Amino acid sequence: MDKLRRVLSGRDENEEQGLTAQVLDASTLSYSTRVKWFVICFASGILCSILGTALLFLPNGIKLFAVFYTLGNIAALASTCFLMGPLKQLKRMFEKTRLIATIVMLLCLVLTLCAAFWWNKKLLAIIFCILQFLAMTCHLSTEENIALTCVTCGLS
């Protein structure tokens, strides 16, 4: 198959691909596969967040809450990489319109874990989780393509 690609693209058989081209060739996914993995990753993020919230009510459950809630937000954020690719996602995260929400979100991810594990402050960890949620909402609300995909996946 690689030989056929080289012949059709006009590349010489002895010419070697660069690392970037090899990675892009190996990681191309169809649109339906991207949407499926987006939904799977996003749903697992929501599930982790809900599980973390349920674990909050256990004795000493603040640490489990912080870990699961943070992992849930990371999974939900990583799910968008399936739709647009990780490099484009990172570039868009740090655009001028999303910069503040991105910094607050990333800072709150770290501070939630710090409040739960090192500072042992339950209320502070919950406040940072609320800030995570608000920053994630602001970040995702500026991404119209993702919102449209969520709506169309939910309708079909």
Residue 146: per-residue pLDDT: 52
Please tell me which residue, 61 or 156, carries the higher pLDDT value. 61
Say whether pLDDT at 44 is over 90: yes
- The string of pLDDT tens digits covering residues 61-113 is 899 999 999 999 999 888 888 888 888 888 888 888 888 888 988 999 999 99
Contacts of 126 (CB under 8 A, 6+ apart): 56
pLDDT confidence bin for 14, thresholds 50/70/90: very low
Contacts of 63 (CB under 8 A, 6+ apart): 116, 117
Rounded to whole angstroms, the Cα distance separating 26 from 22 reads: 6
Residue 120: per-residue pLDDT: 87
- Tokens 């319109």 belong to residue: 97
Query: Do residues 35 and 83 lie in contact, with contact meaning Cβ atoms separated by under 8 Å?
Result: yes
When pLDDT is averaged across residues 114-129 and rounded to a whole number, the result is: 91
Please tell me which residue, 154 or 72, carries the higher pLDDT value. 72
Would you say the pTM of this structure is higher than 0.85? no
| Candidate from 16-20, 67-71, 92-96, 148-152 with smallest mean pLDDT | 148-152
pLDDT confidence bin for 156, thresholds 50/70/90: very low
What mean pLDDT, rounded, does the chain reach? 78
Amino acid symbol at 68? F
Residue 50: per-residue pLDDT: 92
Secondary-structure percent of the chain, ordered helix, strand, coil, rounded to 5:
80, 0, 20
